[in-house]
Amino acid sequence: MEQSSSATTNTAKTRDPFNISAALVSNWTDKKIIHSPTFFYYYSLAHFITHIFRREVKWVDKRKPVKIFSYGLSAVVITHALIHSAGNITGALYPILKEEFVLTNQQIGLMAAIPPLVQALFSIPAGHMSDRYGVKKLIALSITMTVIGALIAGFTINPWMYIVAATLLTLNSTIYHPSAHSYTARLVERKDRAKALGFLNAGGTFGIAVGPLSITILMGWLALTWRQLYLFWVGPIVLGFVFLYFVRAESKVEDIHDKDEVSSDVKETKSFLSRDFLLYISSRGVRMFGGSMVGTFISVYLTEVRGWSIPEIGVLFGISSLLGLVASPIGGFLASKLGEKRFAVYSFALGYACFFAAFLTTNVIPFMVLYLAYRFLGILGMPAMASITARLSPPSQMGMGFALSFMPSSITGIIAPIIAAWIADTYGLFPIFIVATVVMYLSLIIFRLGVRIK
């Protein structure tokens, strides 16, 4: 009986994917394969990565919330920057890709639409995985996807190969964001959510900034090719595993912890089918539709209509995102003081006005100033929107709530680039940005009049 039980246990361990390294060592020791230096190197690397997935999850009592400045928050901020570093290069490279692969505007629109389509398909599963498996495993998965995507981009020989790389470099954020945002929201007290999420967004905007800036430095100054640029980022991204390794605790709301606070949250939102959550997601979808139209063709517009060079575009995109290092923490602080919804409305409304005014200018400097003001004000409102997402989500499904809040960008990202391409071929590039401005203001009206924040 004991022998049978022992055999069953050994079989279970062998079938456990996280115990496969032990099984391999047991089977290969007699064959002396383990004495090979090459085997020892790869075994050590595999053991390190699987150890990240196996580390024990510890619960943090909500009655004793973690302070805003903690190693857990610092680690997700750093990894947030790393997963965006290579992924945000794509938008600035469209003019080069269009010339090298001899692509039309419609083909550029299709190339930009495929990654969001895959994002949309994986948004809900990513939210479910976030609530079930926790932050460490999903962040490790997103880092792995980023590394693979950068490697494929670095060895691209045709447009389809690049689309696969761009899809992985886009899907990584779909896996990352729900777990990292819900982790951050649960890590601190409710009154500090906007502040903590502001720091998290600052990490993301920094990663979005250094990608385009690396185009200017590595391609403009050091004469690297765009393929070599992707390969350059593989090393820094792998460092994300090191920062993730030391994250020891994961905050999660349990019914047995602070029942009064949880029940208060549940009174606000018991289901994702609530009127306020649905209108909130709808307003985000409309806003992101306009943003997707802009993101696909602004680099093409700047090169073909205004005569900008690729390094100049890299500087604009890099600085506009680098502003997030200042704007996002300030936005989180102001939102917690002035009210999340009111602050978001004022910030976005003023930002859209600056965006439209930028396209009415004729010189480089006025355009850059107004466009950077638009980006600054948009990032300023991001922590407020993230905090509203947490407030409108059921406490036990906060990861799913963040996944659903990011899903509209995936859905609109499928349609908007194609529509923008049709506008470009029919009426020219400039009308794209007029339509985008109208769409973004429409989203603000839906959010202001339809969403109630208690």
Better-scored residue on pLDDT, 61 or 239: 239
> How many other C-beta atoms lie within 10 A of the C-beta of residue 124?
14
CA 155 to chain CA centroid, nearest Å: 24
Per-residue exposure over 309-323, b if at least 16 CB sit within 10 Å of its own CB, e if not: ebbbbbbbbbbbbbb
Which CB contacts under 8 angstroms, 24+ apart, belong to 358-365? 359/430, 359/433, 359/434, 364/306, 364/308, 364/312
Better-scored residue on pLDDT, 343 or 105: 343
| pLDDT reading at 185 higher than 80 | yes
Confidence of residue 25 (pLDDT cuts 50, 70, 90): very low
Please report the DSSP string for 271-337 in residue order: -TTSHHHHHHHHHHHHHHHHHHHHHHHHHHHHHHTS---HHHHHHHHHHHHHTHHHHHHHHHHHHHH
**Residue 393: which of 404, 403, 401, 384 has the closest Cα?**
401
Please report the DSSP string for 68-90 in residue order: SS-HHHHHHHHHHHHHHHTGGGH
Residue 258, helix vs strand vs coil: coil
pLDDT tens-place string over residues 119-141: 888 888 888 888 788 788 889 99
Confidence at residue 233, expressed as pLDDT on a 0 to 100 scale: 92
> How many other C-beta atoms lie within 10 A of the C-beta of residue 225?
12
- Measure the N-to-C terminal CA separation of the chain; round to a whole number of Å: 61
Write down the domain spans for the chain. 2-33, 66-252+268-450
| pLDDT reading at 279 higher than 60 | yes
Residue 133, helix vs strand vs coil: helix
The structure's pTM equals: 0.67
| pLDDT reading at 333 higher than 60 | yes
CATH for 66-252+268-450?
1.20.1250.20
